[in-house]
Amino acid sequence: MNRLIVAVLAFSAITAPAQANDFLGVWRTEVRGGLVRLEPCGDAICGAIVSSPLLEANPDQRDVRNSDPALRPRALRGLRILQARRLSATRLGDGWVYDPEEGETYSGEITLLPDGRLRLRGCIVWPLCRSQIWVRDASM
């Protein structure tokens, strides 16, 4: 009987719906291994650049590729690069993602995958989209 209870509890933990804080924390990006911190901002979740190998080499990097010349002096470290609101327990959307490599902002959504990784998708217009997978960073 006790084994059955343990098995049911273990299965429940595996299949429990994701909670809001499952999105929160520091995530390693797929491209260039940057680190982005996701945290609440009003009724949304926002992401800001924490670090990257390029920032470690040159900590004073600026947003020089931004399509708006007035924003080019902004520091990349700490820059908000995404914002999205909760659509479900495993999905954020109605948001945007900024790519400092291209200096462009795209409509975006984030999905919490069953294995705990995040899939980000940014679109100029559908179907012109790109996706990448982020993994939680355990070092922070």
pLDDT in tens, 99-124: 999 999 999 899 999 999 999 998 88
Q: What is the pTM of this model?
A: 0.81
What residue ranges define each of the domains in the chain, with the CATH number in brackets?
Answer: 18-136 (2.40.128.520)
| Stretch 21-40: mean pLDDT | 91
The string over 92-131, giving b where at least 16 C-beta atoms fall within 10 Å of a residue's C-beta and e elsewhere, is beebebbbbeeeebbbbbbbbeeeeebebbbeeeeeeeee
- What is the spatial distance between Cα 25 and Cα 29, in angstroms, rounded to a whole number? 13
- What is the spatial distance between Cα 108 and Cα 121, in angstroms, rounded to a whole number? 5
Position 140 scores a pLDDT of 56
Confidence band, pLDDT 50/70/90 cuts, at residue 91 = very high
Confidence band, pLDDT 50/70/90 cuts, at residue 125 = confident
Q: Does residue 7 or residue 49 have the better pLDDT?
A: 49
